[in-house]
Amino acid sequence: MNGPQPISIDQLGNLSVDGAGRLYWHGQEVITTLSLPWGVNVAIIAGAIIAGLGLLWSIIRYWLDRAERRRGHP
């Protein structure tokens, strides 16, 4: 068999976890950490900041529009 194969119910006994939360398959540690390039990290942070500013702007516009409607402006 070539390529990844699904784990059957019978094979679940081969999977284990130690006290520190590390994952093992057939007694060998499975690598579960991932390190992204710095550019990807910067893009993720920038995207989160932009999304947060967009949310903040939407909230401000909502409250300003609501205040105008209360004063009787269409």
Q: Give the end-to-end CA distance of the chain in Å, rounded to a whole number.
A: 69
In whole angstroms, give the CA distance from residue 22 to residue 26: 13
Please name which of 48, 46, 21 lies closest in space to residue 33, comparing C-alpha atoms. Answer: 21
What pTM does this model have?
Answer: 0.50
Residue 47, class by beta-carbon neighbours within 10 Å (0-12 exposed, 13-18 middle, 19+ buried)? exposed
What is the percent of the chain with per-residue pLDDT over 90, rounded to a whole number? 49
What is the per-residue pLDDT for 53? Answer: 98
pLDDT tens figures, 33-67: 888 899 999 999 999 999 999 999 999 999 999 98
In whole angstroms, give the CA distance from residue 62 to residue 33: 42
What is the per-residue pLDDT for 73? Answer: 61
Rounded to 5 degrees, what angle do the CA atoms 10, 20, 17 make? 5
